[in-house]
Amino acid sequence: MTTPRILVRGGWIVTMDAQNREFPTGDVLIEDGRIAAVAADLAPAADASVIDASGTFVLPGLVDAHRHTWQTGLRQSDSEAAIMEYVGRTLIGLGDTVRPEDVYAGTYLGALSALNAGITTVLDWAHAMNSPEHADAAVRALRDAGVRAVFGHAWPIGSTLDFAATHPVDIRRVREQLLPSDDGLVTLAMAAKGPDYSGIDNAVKDFALARELGIPITTHLSTGRPGPDHQGIQQLHRAGLLGPDLNLVHVNGAEADALKLLADSGTTVSICPQIELTMPGLGGNVAVRRLRTAGVNPGLGVDTELESSGDLFTQMRFALAADRAETPDGEPVLAARAVLRMATVEGARAVHLGDRTGSIEPGKAADLVLVRTDDIDLVPVTTPAESLVLVAHTGNVDTVLVAGRVVKRGGRLLADTARARELALASAAHLRGAGR
């Protein structure tokens, strides 16, 4: 099914392309869900519906490069938990009671909330894959929400959680039957434990399975304070496992020589600044300055809404603050535009979708966000990057398109939000009754 031709007219176009082009008054033509043209003044297109973008920034859809979306129904329920308390209470203690309908409810709510905040792409790092039905529920929720998603099939949780186990074999069924194509709105990745959790031998087996299935890999690695105890990146390097199909999350415990290995191998990184700074046990630091010094431009992620905001505007501000706090006097600071790139083009590259989203260029998917520039908290606008990174929030997001389909218009989601609330409340009541 094709989408209609759409002309997004008269907005301040922030392309985020390689030349960082902007059109203070420009147009974007969309055909069959893709960007057909971008210019200062496009001629009227036959049969195209027009979206009046005057008074808005038109930017690429934001990309959340790491989110445990199923946990959305547990929002802010454990805001002081340290990392191992989170593992004990949520992954081990709660895992046996998480039903497929809980995975659906949390994932559906989380995906809609992401769209509401201008996030058009999510890497859904989905543990709680306790059965094939749990995996089916997660994928169905992502599809029902209409978000672009990389479904990171992870591992079962609960009282039998074995951190030394290899990846569940159900990922083969998901690849062959549920997500066989890499061209759909929802695609597949392996969310693997990695050497920090299961040892290098199991990482070798898991990575080999993912590469046999032809899917990218994402794994948590090197959390905490930098120091010699964090050897995961070096282990992956010695085993020949680093590469552009691999995404590492956090890496805030890695030192400069390890981060240079990532740059040299093309391995991508996703950081989650709010969680990394505020969750006890994660080190209280963000690797953004060390990463960019090593030549690695990371994507940004929310991680878990148990202890974090669900929007990328917040994550951009945490990233900017973390970098500037570590920048010595007289040295160049991280620019707002560079942070905006982390939330768009670098995030798309981190989740292996850089060829189809993350910037406004002909041929790429029409994943667009219109942010009002005349709202009282933003006017008068000076430059888009500073306004978007320093000030903007979910309430300024007027319109969102995914693959040319309008999912938010006039500040309102075009989705059954009442159903999302109802399912989330029922799931939360069940999980609270289970001891959460």
First to last CA, the chain: 43
Please determine, for residue 36, whether its predicted confidence score (pLDDT) is greater than 80: yes
Contact 34, 404 (CB under 8 A): yes
Q: Can you tell me the mean pLDDT for 263-277?
A: 97
The CATH number of the domain where 150 resides is what? 3.20.20.140
Residue 417 belongs to some domain of the structure: no
- Which of 350, 369, 393 is where one domain is finished? 350
DSSP output for 70-84: GGGGGTTS-TT--HH
133/183 same-domain check: yes
Full residue range of the structural domain in which residue 15 is found: 6-60+359-411
274/366 same-domain check: no
Residue 228 belongs to some domain of the structure: yes
- Higher local confidence (pLDDT), 382 or 420: 420
Looking at the chain, the whole-number percentage of residues with pLDDT higher than 90 is 85
Q: Which two tokens stand for residue 400?
A: 């969102």
What per-residue confidence (pLDDT) applies to 134? 97
- The mean of the pLDDT values for the chain is 95
Q: Domains in the chain: how many in total?
A: 2
Residue 416 belongs to some domain of the structure: no
Contact 191, 154 (CB under 8 A): yes
The CATH number of the domain where 387 resides is what? 2.30.40.10
Residue 331 belongs to some domain of the structure: yes
Residue 12 belongs to some domain of the structure: yes
Residue 238 belongs to some domain of the structure: yes
Q: Which two tokens stand for residue 41?
A: 């003044």
149/253 same-domain check: yes
207/318 same-domain check: yes
Q: Can you tell me the mean pLDDT for 250-271?
A: 96
What per-residue confidence (pLDDT) applies to 48? 93
Model pLDDT for residues 75-87, shown as the tens digit of each residue: 988 888 999 899 9
185/196 same-domain check: yes
Instruction: Give buried/exposed letters for 312-346 (b at 16+ CB in 10 A, else e).
Output: bbbbbbbbbebbeebeeeeeeebebbbbbbbbbbb
- Which of 350, 368, 396 is where one domain is finished? 350
195/232 same-domain check: yes
Residue 425 belongs to some domain of the structure: no
253/370 same-domain check: no
* Residue 427, SS3 per DSSP: helix
36/99 same-domain check: no
Residue that is written with structure tokens 């999302």 in the block: 420
What per-residue confidence (pLDDT) applies to 275? 96
What per-residue confidence (pLDDT) applies to 2? 56
Q: 133: how many CB neighbours lie within 10 A of its CB?
A: 14
Model pLDDT for residues 134-159, shown as the tens digit of each residue: 999 999 999 999 999 999 999 999 99
What per-residue confidence (pLDDT) applies to 396? 98
- Max distance between CA atoms of the chain, in angstroms, equals 63
Contact 167, 190 (CB under 8 A): yes
259/373 same-domain check: no
316/367 same-domain check: no
Q: Can you tell me the mean pLDDT for 222-235?
A: 86
Model pLDDT for residues 327-374, shown as the tens digit of each residue: 999 888 999 999 999 999 999 999 999 999 999 999 999 999 999 999
37/67 same-domain check: no
DSSP output for 126-155: E----SHHHHHHHHHHHHHHT-EEEEEE--
For 251-291, where are the E strands, in sequence order? 268-271
206/246 same-domain check: yes
What per-residue confidence (pLDDT) applies to 3? 64
Residue 48 belongs to some domain of the structure: yes
Please determine, for residue 283, whether its predicted confidence score (pLDDT) is greater than 90: no
